Structure 1
Amino acid sequence: MDDQTQAPPSSPALAGPALAGPVLAGPVLAGLATRLPPHVWFGVSAVFHYLGPAFAVLLFPHVGVLGMAWLRIATAALIFAPLTRPWRTFARADLPTRLLLIAFGACLAVMNCSFYLALDRLPISLVAAIEFVGTIGIALAGLRSARNLAALGIAVTGTLLLTDVKWASDPVGLFWAFLNGALFVGYIVLGHRIARAGAGDGIAGLGAAMAVAFVVVLPIGLADALPAFFSPPLLVAAIGVGICSSVIPYVCDQLAMARLPRASFALMLSLLPVTATLIGILLLRQIPGPADCLGIALVVGGVALHRPASAG
Structure 2
Amino acid sequence: MNTIKPSLASSLFPVGLLLIAMASIQSGASLAKQLFPLIGPQGTTTLRLLFASLVMLLLLRPWRARFNAASLRSVVVYGISLGCMNLMFYMSLRTVPLGIAVALEFTGPLVVALYGSRRAIDFAWIALAVLGLILLVPMGDAAAGIDLVGAGFALGAGAFWALYIVYGQKAGHDNGVQTAALGVMIAALFVAPVGMVHAGAALLNPALIPLGIGVAILSTALPYSLEMVALTRLPARTFGTLMSIEPAFGALSGLLFLHEVLSVTQWLAIASIIGASVGATLTLRKDSAPAVAMD
TM-score normalised over the length of structure 1:
0.67
* Contact 2:18/2:230, CA 8 A, preserved across alignment: yes
Match of 2:150 among 155, 166, 173: 173
Q: Identity of paired residues, percent?
A: 27
Following superposition, the deviation at residue 129 of structure 1 comes to 3.2
Unaligned runs of 5+ in 1: 1-33
Aligned residue in 2 for 1:50: 26
Aligned residue in 1 for 2:177: 203
Aligned residue in 1 for 2:74: 100
CA distance in 2, matches of 1:79, 1:275: 25
Superposed CA deviations along residues 180-202 of structure 1, whole A, max 9, x for unmatched, are 121011122233445555xxx42
Following superposition, the deviation at residue 78 of structure 1 comes to 0.7
Superposed CA deviations along residues 59-106 of structure 1, whole A, max 9, x for unmatched, are 1111222111110000111111122223332xx211111111111111
Unaligned runs of 5+ in 2: 1-9, 288-295
CA distance in 1, matches of 2:135, 2:283: 28
Aligned Cα root-mean-square deviation (Å): 4.2
Following superposition, the deviation at residue 295 of structure 1 comes to 7.2
* Contact 2:136/2:269, CA 8 A, preserved across alignment: no
CA distance in 2, matches of 1:299, 1:122: 18
Following superposition, the deviation at residue 48 of structure 1 comes to 2.4
Superposed CA deviations along residues 218-258 of structure 1, whole A, max 9, x for unmatched, are 222135164253333x3201210111112223344555667
Aligned residue in 1 for 2:103: 129
CA distance in 1, matches of 2:183, 2:189: 10
CA distance in 1, matches of 2:147, 2:258: 27
Change beyond 3 A, Cα 1:149–1:256:
farther
CA distance in 1, matches of 2:81, 2:135: 28
CA distance in 1, matches of 2:217, 2:116: 32
Following superposition, the deviation at residue 175 of structure 1 comes to 3.9
* Contact 1:75/1:242, CA 8 A, preserved across alignment: yes
Aligned residue in 2 for 1:187: 164
Change beyond 3 A, Cα 1:174–1:120:
same
* Contact 1:66/1:117, CA 8 A, preserved across alignment: yes
* Contact 1:125/1:165, CA 8 A, preserved across alignment: no
CA distance in 1, matches of 2:41, 2:249: 24
Change beyond 3 A, Cα 1:113–1:178:
same
